[in-house]
A = this chain, B = another copy of it.
Amino acid sequence: MPKRNAFYAQSGGVTAVINASAAGVIQTARAHRSEIGRVYAGRNGIIGALTEDLIDTSRESARAIAALMHTPGGAFGSCRYKLKSLDENRAQYERLIEVFRAHDIGYFFYNGGNDSADTCLKVSQIAQALGYPLIAVHVPKTVDNDLAVTDNCPGFGSVAKYVATSMREAAFDVASMAKTSTKVFVLEVMGRHAGWITAAVGLADDEATPIPLVLLFPEIAFDEAKFLDAVDSRTKRFGYCCVGVSEGLRNAEGKLMGEAGTKDAFGHAQLGGVGPQIAALVKDRLRYKFHWAVADYLQRAARHLASKVDLDQSYAVGKAAVELALRGQNAVMPAIVRVSDRPYRWKIGVAPLSEVANREKMLPRDYIAGDGYGITAKARAYLSPLIKGEAPPPYRDGLPQYVRLKNVAVPKKLATAFEI
């Protein structure tokens, strides 16, 4: 096989460990110099490919690439840009192939979630249709943990560890204040469609450290009276109560609670904020003092609290993607396969992209407790291993030291521009 270059791009919302996948791809490609030339990264994801704005990762030192292991965010820039279907915008796909051809790219590694798995599949199809030899491998990543086939998604374990730790810590705070002050604490977490992250908040409470929790899943329509009763009974019994609420919580009509269209002090539409809404409800109806937090990007950027398992798996899927490509496997995704719960053992398997693209893995109903406000033993068995182990970044003067790459542009070869 003649030596060809590789293209790698980050897609969609970034995570605390997506750069570990980048490190896995780049280091593994560097270890196979006889088969893979340079690894070009898309500046701002697939947009970099469309506009021929490529980054030459060979200009980065081994040390800089290694530092990606402990650096959150997307080192090459990501984007929210969904390619249309082949029928709708074939020109986009043909442009990709044009750029790939110009830079002799034989390997396409696309690091993202559901949408990008679909894009990756389509790219492999158009390459085939155009007779352009390309191996396309999807590298899984999403804090939403909703990719099909893979047991879990790189990026999720670290968010899970963050929200469980944060809720546990806040619970210790609230418990000490509850006598005369705050009795109810509300933490809003991510996960618009599936309650995986909400479920992870449930890990804050365990046998050794019981915490009175009420979880509000996007899967369970919000029932105000029942919710208030759950909070009230826990607060009366334990003196305080902690509420973990998904940003994707919906009312009985299926409408997102956070988009209930309020106006703020400036007279603007208030966006987001189901957390403060729930807190205000508790205050108004139950008269308990409350505090609320919205973790937002902090939860998915918190590299300082990343899960070691998550970090290892993120690296492993990047490495496996290159190895699969070198074995000629096209239109596939390295998937995490759970071998056992206790002790937790996992390995990397292979999933055809046709089985991954456009599917969503929802939180199983039997992971949610009967009353709808907690998690089951089954959920714990699934979630617990994913947050295991610590992998702190290096610190200097009290702050984590994260790398910024040089991100040197590859000289353009095409005369044509492309409007995105």
- Please tell me if the beta carbons of A172 and B80 are within 8 angstroms of each other in the complex: no
Determine the distance from Cα of A350 to Cα of B179 in the docked complex, in whole angstroms.
32
Q: What range describes how many residues of A lie at the interface?
A: 35 or more
Q: Which residues of A contact B (CB under 8 A)?
A: 10, 13-14, 16, 44-45, 47, 71-81, 161, 164-166, 168-170, 172-182, 185, 187, 203-204, 206, 208-209, 257, 260-266, 268-273, 275-277, 279-281, 283-284, 291-298, 300-305, 307, 309, 384, 387-390, 392, 395-402, 404
Residues of A contacting B: mostly: mixed
Q: Point out the residues of chain B lying under 8 angstroms from A388, CB to CB.
A: 397-398
- Please tell me if the beta carbons of A185 and B390 are within 8 angstroms of each other in the complex: no
- Please tell me if the beta carbons of A269 and B280 are within 8 angstroms of each other in the complex: yes
Determine the distance from Cα of A397 to Cα of B207 in the docked complex, in whole angstroms.
12
- Please tell me if the beta carbons of B169 and A400 are within 8 angstroms of each other in the complex: yes
- Please tell me if the beta carbons of B276 and A271 are within 8 angstroms of each other in the complex: yes
Determine the distance from Cα of A291 to Cα of B14 in the docked complex, in whole angstroms.
14
- Please tell me if the beta carbons of B271 and A273 are within 8 angstroms of each other in the complex: no
Most chain B CB within 10 A, of A173, A175, A292, A384, is at A173
- Please tell me if the beta carbons of B177 and A14 are within 8 angstroms of each other in the complex: yes
Given contacts A301-B169, A400-B168, A402-B209, contact A77 B176 (CB under 8 A): yes
- Further 14 A-B residue pairs, CB within 8 A, beyond A271-B283, A305-B305: A73-B174, A79-B179, A80-B177, A168-B399, A169-B304, A187-B298, A262-B264, A262-B270, A264-B276, A264-B277, A266-B277, A273-B273, A291-B297, A387-B398
Q: Point out the residues of chain B lying under 8 angstroms from A16, CB to CB.
A: 169
- Please tell me if the beta carbons of B271 and A173 are within 8 angstroms of each other in the complex: no
A293 touches which one: B72, B279, B297 (CB < 8 A)? B297
Q: Point out the residues of chain B lying under 8 angstroms from A79, CB to CB.
A: 177, 179-181
A298 touches which one: B13, B166, B262, B265 (CB < 8 A)? B166
Determine the distance from Cα of A358 to Cα of B337 in the docked complex, in whole angstroms.
61
- Please tell me if the beta carbons of A270 and B280 are within 8 angstroms of each other in the complex: yes
30 A-B pairs within 8 Å (CB atoms) are namely: A13-B177, A14-B173, A16-B169, A45-B179, A72-B169, A73-B174, A74-B177, A79-B179, A80-B181, A81-B180, A161-B399, A164-B399, A170-B297, A174-B297, A185-B297, A203-B399, A204-B399, A209-B401, A209-B402, A262-B270, A264-B280, A266-B277, A266-B284, A268-B283, A269-B280, A276-B294, A307-B398, A384-B398, A387-B397, A392-B392
Determine the distance from Cα of A75 to Cα of B392 in the docked complex, in whole angstroms.
27
A93 CB, min distance to chain B CBs, angstroms:
19
- Please tell me if the beta carbons of A401 and B208 are within 8 angstroms of each other in the complex: yes
- Please tell me if the beta carbons of B292 and A10 are within 8 angstroms of each other in the complex: no
A268 CB, min distance to chain B CBs, angstroms:
4
A140 CB, min distance to chain B CBs, angstroms:
18
Q: Point out the residues of chain B lying under 8 angstroms from A81, CB to CB.
A: 180
Q: Point out the residues of chain B lying under 8 angstroms from A74, CB to CB.
A: 176-177
**Taking CB as reference atom, which chain B residue is nearest A276?**
B273
A41 CB, min distance to chain B CBs, angstroms:
12
